[in-house]
Chain A
Amino acid sequence: MDIRAFARFDPNVLAKPLQNGVSRRAFLKAGAAAGGGLLLSFTLDCEEGDAAVGAFAPNAFIRIDRGGAVALVMPQVEMGQGTYTSMPMLIAEELDVELSQVRLEHAPPNDKLYGNPILGSSQTTGGSTSVRAFWEPLRRAGAVGRNLLIAAAAQTWGVETNACNAEKGEVIHVPTGRRLSYTNLVDVAATLPVPEKVTLKDPKDFKLIGTSVKRLDAPEKVNGTAQYGIDVRIPGMKVAAVAACPVFGGKLESVDDSKAKTVKGVVQIVHLEDAVAVVADHMAAAKKGLAALDIKWNEGQNAAVGTTDIIAQLDAASKNPGVVARKDGDVEKAMAGATKKVEAIYQVPFLAHAAMEPMNCTVHVRNDGCDVWVGTQVATRAQRAAAEVTGLPLEKVQVHNHLLGGGFGRRLDIDGVTRAVQIAKQVSVAVKVIWSREEDIQHDLYRPYYYDRLAAGLDEQGMPVAWTDRVTASSILARWLPVAFKNGFDRDAVEGAVRPPYTLPNIQVEYVRQEPPGIPTAFWRGVGPTHNIFVVESFIDELAAAANKDPVDYRRALLDNSPRAKAVLELAAEKSGWGQKLPPGSGRGISVQFVFGSYMSQVAEVAVAKDGGVRVQRVVCAVDCGMVVNPDTVKAQIEGGIIFGITAALYGQITLKNGRVEQSNFDNYQMLRINEAPVVEVHLIKSTEAPGGIGEPGTAAVSPAVANAIFAATGKRIRKLPINPSELRSV
């Protein structure tokens, strides 16, 4: 999500970039502005008992104990995006330790210590922000540690600090070649004052950053030992299967659980206001027990809701003026003077996240406290949710975070934690609640249905002189972060639409809020841009067609003020063989974007069969995401993000009928599979600019490239996702 979205509601949210060599006073002040990302006090970490006494913990991210273990505490969670490799790289680079020396720990919930400076200083992993947010604070954390260890060595030897260097976990006295391991220095280092100045390395001296270091989490993920939330095993623990009212907002009326209680292994049936859970020794019994329940629901006021009604409501709302997100020039005058006017309505559907690890959470509620084991993108929100349900004070709730079997925004919400704690409150032992895939899909919080009206006026040369875009949808921010939702305006909903990279002298972008009845909506990989880039990049393609110009030439002519965007456009076009002939029924389409702080252009090559079936054969991506921490991670994120985006473009849609989600599992909520996956080529542009985000741009850029390629292949414009093959049929 856009940094600005969160900076506006609180001017202190954004950390001012820290300059190298700032004084300690400035450092502390700046650190506080960044949400206290650095703990500069020296504390002996005694939480783990005697073994940790004497540990050197210069800040919240580093602990080196006498035994030689270097523990790095990860402020951001690992959900596949490689942050458990990139974050340690940032610390290790400046601390001068080898990655093979470090052990990673999940951070406990603590906004003060681990807050993400881009996301309101809350401990949140999302919005492709990890490297952008922690690029400076984690390097600084490492540099503080290194300086103290060097000072400790210098004091031990009785030499000047500037005669010493650090390398691979050792301090070296350069003139004599003497060496001391960090582990021999921790006791002295822990007594020294915080350095007045820390200097970060010049990027040209980076040893780790910029290299394709192997993922630290890969070995345990190929041998089955990786621990996701769903893998937690607590002594004496039970498991639970759950069924929530299939209609949003409905309640449990009655349940006959007599048969379920006779199922071998079932130990308890838990009745909640809007759900039933079966607690058992193992999940086979819990599921069997759940299936044996005779449940009557009071479906409530949303029992008749259907997608058709929701779309009709969005259409009606979209005819009203919205909150103005951007207004440059005089759109009305420019439109009136235009030679040609192009208008279009674009629609994208509700989407479920369908992370491979279904929603789950393990909870042990006791009189004096509560433990929560879960994989979450929002550890402090999870802690607050458990405190709220149990009535316990916050500090009595321990959240043990885990690897995430996919996040994609789903685990930015804590409904799964709330549900598990509700159940665990009625169970005397720890209980692991696992949702079935059907529950996971039918009780998701969905990517909003967006309904967008666009219009453009073209001059005699066919170039845009006026551009209007009115986005109509529910507001995620109003629910998820109400403080960021002001005056009816949701910045996330229009991100990617407000500032296209093109020179558009007269532009007006509006947002109309229209909430679907009962349907909760949430962030989904690529957030605002995933829908807006599809719309903007499809519409600019429409304008190129209306002007009878080549889509690449048309865009290039509008990118004089955005050289980095122009560079990725040209590189993607060149590498894709833009302009070269393709067989009949095939076509190439292009997109270009600047979102999440990264520039990206993609060219998709598709083949449309006579029956209308679409096959994406190849995607060429050019990216300029500034300085790169791990090039292979960047490539992997783009490769995967593209698959995620194609899945949505070809298959993704959640529909409702009689208040119920119609999709339930991977047979009717389809995922792209290996036999449908295109060849993906990623070309990185070397850059010394600040790092940009990379987890989501690939997803946002691909659907318009595919839709534009279909237009090139068939002459049919895709204005509604998912792509409907019956509309592309040529026989």
Chain B
Amino acid sequence: MSYRVKVNGMDHVVDVDGDAPLLWVLRDVLGLTGTKFGCGMALCGACTVHIDGQPARSCITPIESVGSAAITTIEAIGDTPTGKKIQDAWLDLEVVQCGYCQSGQIMTASALLASNPQPDDTAIDDAMGGNICRCGTYSRIRAAIKQAAQPDTRRGG
């Protein structure tokens, strides 16, 4: 069956079964490989994308459930103000190691910051606890979220 999906502002028509997970539509059909496969069961967060701005695990999201919602992936998150801040903080604090989980970390963190501009440690734990990093970059992830949450002093806050 054909589904019309809106990804990063572009409309696409994909011809897959309705139960096909969004993850594989993005990666294998649309060629957007920045979204990663990690567990297939929403246990690790590597596949996180935004659906209408909300973080979602694309590995368990059937394409038929997406409807006309706007999907945003790591490839376009830098076009949003919070996504850009998060990416900049990630670079500034040298968060990444192998980097494989970081697309998902950045997507989850961007959604957190968009909904909660000043997250405290508990809010960070709650939001980020579903994203595993095997390289163990957690302390830098926490610090980077806090840095991204700082008002931009260069522009006078």
Contacts and interface: CB of A to CB of B under 8 A. Distances in A.
Nearest to A671: B132
A81 B98 CA distance: 7
Contacts of A404: 98
A547 interface: no
B134 to A, nearest CB: 5
B82 interface: no
A210 interface: no
B136 A644 contact: yes
Contact of B40 (A233, A405, A437): A437
A109 interface: no
Contacts of B16: 264-265, 282, 284-285
A679 interface: yes
A641 B37 CA distance: 23
A674 to B, nearest CB: 4
Interface in A684-710: none
Nearest to B16: A284
Interface of A is mostly: loop
A672 interface: yes
B94 A221 contact: no
Interface stretch (A24-32, A42-50, A298-306, A351-359): A351-359
B100 A222 contact: no
Interface string B111-140: 000000000000011101111111111111
A356 B101 contact: yes
B17 A79 contact: no
A673 B44 CA distance: 10
B43 A223 contact: no
A219 B91 contact: yes
B73 A642 contact: no
Nearest to B78: A223
B97 A284 contact: no
B34 A224 contact: yes
Interface residues of A, number: 68
Q: Is the interface of B mostly helix, strand, loop or mixed?
A: loop
Given A225-B34, A356-B38, A403 B28 contact: no
Contacts of B21: 284
Interface string A630-659: 001000110111111001000000000000
Contact of A217 (B38, B43, B96, B125): B96
A226 B34 CA distance: 7
B99 A239 contact: no
A436 B134 CA distance: 17
Contact of B94 (A214, A233, A356, A436): A214
Contacts of A223: 34, 74-75, 78, 87
A680 interface: yes
Contacts of B35: 224
B109 to A, nearest CB: 10
Contacts of A265: 16-17
Max count, chain B CB within 10 A of own CB: residue among A226, A643, A674: A674
Contacts of A82: 97
Contacts of B44: 356, 666, 671
B135 A406 contact: yes
B43 A667 contact: yes
A297 interface: no
Contacts of A392: none
15 contacts: A79-B98, A81-B97, A217-B96, A218-B96, A219-B91, A282-B25, A284-B28, A288-B20, A356-B36, A407-B98, A437-B40, A639-B139, A665-B40, A673-B131, A674-B141
Given A222-B90, A284-B20, A356-B135, 16 more contacts: A214-B91, A219-B91, A264-B16, A282-B28, A283-B27, A284-B19, A285-B20, A357-B38, A434-B37, A639-B136, A640-B137, A665-B43, A672-B138, A674-B129, A675-B125, A677-B139
Interface of B: 16-17, 19-21, 24-25, 27-29, 31-41, 43-44, 46, 73-75, 78, 87, 90-91, 94-103, 106, 124-126, 128-142
